[in-house]
Amino acid sequence: MLSLRFSMIRTAPILAIALAAPTARAEVKLARLFVDHAVLQREIKVPIWGEAAPGERVQVSFRKQTTETIADAQGRWRVTLDPMQASKEPSELIVKASYEIRLADVLVGDVWLCSGQSNIEWQVSRSDHSAEDIAEADYPLIRQFLVSRQPVSLDSLQPRESWTVCSPTTVGDFTGVGYFFAREIHRNLTVPIGLINSSWGGTPIEAWMSDEALVSNPAFQIVFRRWADEIAAFPERRRAYEHAQADWVERAAAAKTKGQEFRTAAPRSPGSLWDQNKPTRLFTTMIAPLFPGALRGVVWYQGETNGGRPREYEALLGAMMNDWRHRGGQGDFPFLVVQLPNYASDNAEGTDWARLREAQANATRKEPNAAIAVTIDVGDPHDVHPTNKKEVGHRLALLARGKVYGQAIACEGPVFASAAPEVGGMRVQFHNAEKLHARGGTVLGLEIAGTDQKFFPANGTIEGESVLVTSAQVRTPMAVRYAWRNAPSANLYNAAELPAAPFRSDAW
The count of C-alpha atoms lying within 13 angstroms of the C-alpha of 52, restricted to the half-sphere facing its C-beta, is 24
Same domain, 68 and 158: no
Same domain, 124 and 89: no
Same domain, 385 and 431: no
Same domain, 99 and 155: no
Q: What is the pLDDT along the chain (508 residues), one digit of tens a residue?
A: 333 333 434 444 433 333 334 444 458 999 999 999 999 999 999 999 999 999 999 999 999 999 999 999 999 999 999 999 999 999 999 999 989 999 999 999 999 999 999 999 999 999 999 999 999 999 999 999 999 986 544 455 554 689 999 999 999 999 999 999 999 999 999 999 999 999 999 999 999 999 999 999 999 999 989 988 989 999 999 999 999 999 999 999 999 999 999 999 999 999 888 899 999 999 999 999 999 999 999 999 999 999 999 999 999 999 999 999 999 999 999 999 999 999 998 888 899 999 999 999 999 999 999 999 999 999 999 999 999 999 999 999 999 999 999 999 999 999 999 999 998 899 999 999 999 999 999 999 999 999 999 999 999 999 999 999 999 999 999 999 999 999 999 999 999 999 999 999 999 9
- Residue 42's domain comprises 22-108
**What DSSP character marks residue 499?**
B
- Distances in Å between the alpha carbon of 302 and those of 33, 283, 417, 490? 23, 14, 26, 21
Domain-embedded: residue 232: no
Residue that finishes a domain, picked among 76, 108, 140? 108
Domain-embedded: residue 139: yes
Same domain, 136 and 59: no
Burial 298-311 (b: 16+ CB within 10 A, else e): bbbbbbbbbbebbe
Same domain, 398 and 468: no
Same domain, 288 and 353: yes
Same domain, 309 and 432: no
Give the closest residue to 210 by CA, choosing from 320, 298, 305, 330: 320
**What DSSP character marks residue 502?**
P
* DSSP per-residue string spanning 166-195: --TTTGGGSBHHHHHHHHHHHHHH---EEE
Measured CA to CA, the distance from residue 483 to residue 112 in angstroms comes to: 31
For the chain, what is the domain count? 3
Same domain, 83 and 40: yes
The answer to whether the beta carbons of residues 200 and 149 sit under 8 Å apart is: yes
Domain-embedded: residue 468: yes
- What CATH number is attached to the domain comprising 392? 3.40.50.1110
- What CATH number is attached to the domain comprising 41? 2.60.40.10
Domain-embedded: residue 15: no
pTM of the entire predicted model: 0.92
